[in-house]
Amino acid sequence: MTMEHIFDDVYFMRKALQEAEIAFEKGEIPVGAVIVIDNKIIARGYNLTETLNDVTAHAEMQAITAAANFLGGKYLKNCTLYVTLEPCQMCAGALYWSQISKIVYGARDPERGCINLKTKLHPKTKIKGGVLAEETSDLLKRFFIMKRNLN
């Protein structure tokens, strides 16, 4: 088994899923993200909108900020974002400005996701969806079932 095989999209999406599980445990919508460069995770994030009382505190936004701080610059060229849910319009806009090279997401968000809303990404940004989609979607479904049962 080569090193490249170990560090594939599934491996990094599992790391993003671990971040989503932290959000779940904190009562946040369970979305998690990691940003990778050269097969190394340089940033992690999960939803903190409830904790911070901030509608912009999405997992992607947390990860973008952490990655920019790590790199010492605002551009995320040669970086890949792994996120458990298709980015929303706001996050896609931030990713556009960051010039991130690739976005890999798990579950689709047909209502609020950037694809159906036709949000433009940076021309050099590649996007791939459906990685561990069932697992990422199941976590979201469990969260919303739990929330409905508590209310």
Check if the beta carbon of residue 127 is closer than 8 Å to that of residue 103.
yes
Give, in degrees to the nearest 5, the angle at Cα 13 between 11 and 19.
115
Check if the beta carbon of residue 105 is closer than 8 Å to that of residue 75.
no
pLDDT digits (tens, 9 = 90+) for 35-91: 999 999 999 999 999 999 999 999 999 999 999 999 999 999 999 999 999 999 999
Nearby residues of 99 by Cβ (< 8 Å), 6 or more positions away: 75, 76, 77, 122, 124, 125
- Of the candidates 21, 19, 24, the one whose C-alpha atom is nearest the C-alpha of residue 81 is 19
Could you list the active site residues? 60
Check if the beta carbon of residue 96 is closer than 8 Å to that of residue 122.
yes
pTM for the whole structure: 0.94
pLDDT digits (tens, 9 = 90+) for 15-35: 999 999 999 999 999 999 999
pLDDT confidence of residue 147: 83
- Of the candidates 39, 45, 92, the one whose C-alpha atom is nearest the C-alpha of residue 68 is 45
**CATH numbers and ranges of domains, the chain:** 9-142 (3.40.140.10)
79 assigned binding-site residue: no
Going from the C-alpha of 98 to that of each of 26, 79, 82, 134, the distances in angstroms are: 28, 10, 15, 28
pLDDT confidence of residue 5: 56
